[in-house]
Amino acid sequence: MRNLLLTISYKGTNYHGFQVQKNAVTVCETLQDAMQTLFQGERPDVKGCSRTDAGVHANMFCVSFKTESDFTCDHIRRSLDAILPDDIAAVDCEEVSDDFHARYSCKGKRYVYKIWNAPYMSPFWQGLALHYPKPLDENFLDAVCTDFIGTHDFSAFCGSNGEQEDCTRTVFDCQVEREGDLVTFSVTGDGFLYNMVRIMVGTLLEVNEGKIEPDEILDIIESKDRKKAGRTARPEGLYLDYVLYDEEED
């Protein structure tokens, strides 16, 4: 039995997130369908590096699974890429140690959130970025978001459906940048709570709108009160951008 690490990339517009759900098409189900075709009836138990909500995308998403197949990793990647629909790509495949787990072996992740900041919505970013027509000062928000950096109890930035008992996470870095009309918020940490990044973005947008004072971020974190943070930004702007493992597995 071999343990394989498969890296995929997907546009989440047509899916109800990654995790398998009843009566909803998900990325995991679609991936397992392709695997079942490739492995001639064998349907591997896929371990995902994270969960993504409906409409959320991934530039890099990692899954681990075990198989008795003797197909080469290159053959598996190429074959899955041919079987999968156009909005899911098989990017890489490699053999890893038996105890490797796509989720529990993860050392960190980077998320990005894309905002189309113009009076009109670009048809090329429809479903791939949040349309925010109000003026947005990216330099101001870049300075404000540094208050997220550090080890904190992020209970105030966890959605109501979050199942985590320990809400302490470490944010290594975050920033806000602009390229033309596209504004990108990026954040890297050792892990993230349910809706954490989307609430961070919603809070920054409310700072931009003057609804939350720029020096209130740390107070909101310390309050551990979800009601004090900003709104939950819509899912279509969110991307899982990078997943970090140990060097020998990265």
Assess if residue 248 is contained within a domain.
no
Residue numbers of the domain that contains 67: 2-105
Structure tokens at 212: 């939350």
pLDDT of residue 249: 44
Contact 6, 35 (CB under 8 A): no
The H or E element containing residue 64 is strand 57-67
**Full 3-state SS string of 93-159:** EEEECCCCCCCCCCCEEEEEEEEECCCCCCCCCCCCCEECCCCCCHHHHHHHHHHHCEEEECHHHCC
For residues 237 and 200, what is the distance between their CA atoms, to the nearest angstrom? Answer: 13
Q: Residue 204: is its pLDDT beyond 90?
A: yes
For residues 11 and 32, what is the distance between their CA atoms, to the nearest angstrom? Answer: 17
pLDDT of residue 23: 86
pLDDT of residue 51: 85
pLDDT of residue 162: 54
Domain count, the chain: 2
Of the three residues 88, 105, 122, the one that is the final residue of a domain is 105
Q: Residue 165: is its pLDDT beyond 80?
A: no
Of the three residues 86, 105, 124, the one that is the final residue of a domain is 105
pLDDT of residue 76: 97
What CATH number is associated with residue 135? Answer: 3.30.70.660
Q: Residue 250: is its pLDDT beyond 60?
A: no
pLDDT of residue 20: 87
Collapsed DSSP state (helix, strand, coil) of residue 181: coil
Q: Same domain, yes or no, for 121 and 183? A: yes
Residue in 33, 53, 70, 137 annotated catalytic: 53
Q: Same domain, yes or no, for 158 and 64? A: no
Q: Provide the pLDDT confidence category of residue 247 given band limits of 50, 70 and 90.
A: low
pLDDT tens for 59-112 read 999 999 999 999 999 999 999 999 999 999 999 999 999 999 999 999 999 999
Assess if residue 228 is contained within a domain.
yes
Q: Same domain, yes or no, for 112 and 161? A: yes
Q: Same domain, yes or no, for 175 and 223? A: yes
Q: Same domain, yes or no, for 27 and 92? A: yes
pLDDT of residue 246: 78
Contact 107, 189 (CB under 8 A): no
How confident is the prediction for the chain on average, in pLDDT?
94
Q: Residue 218: is its pLDDT beyond 90?
A: yes
Active site residue 74: no
What CATH number is associated with residue 41? Answer: 3.30.70.580
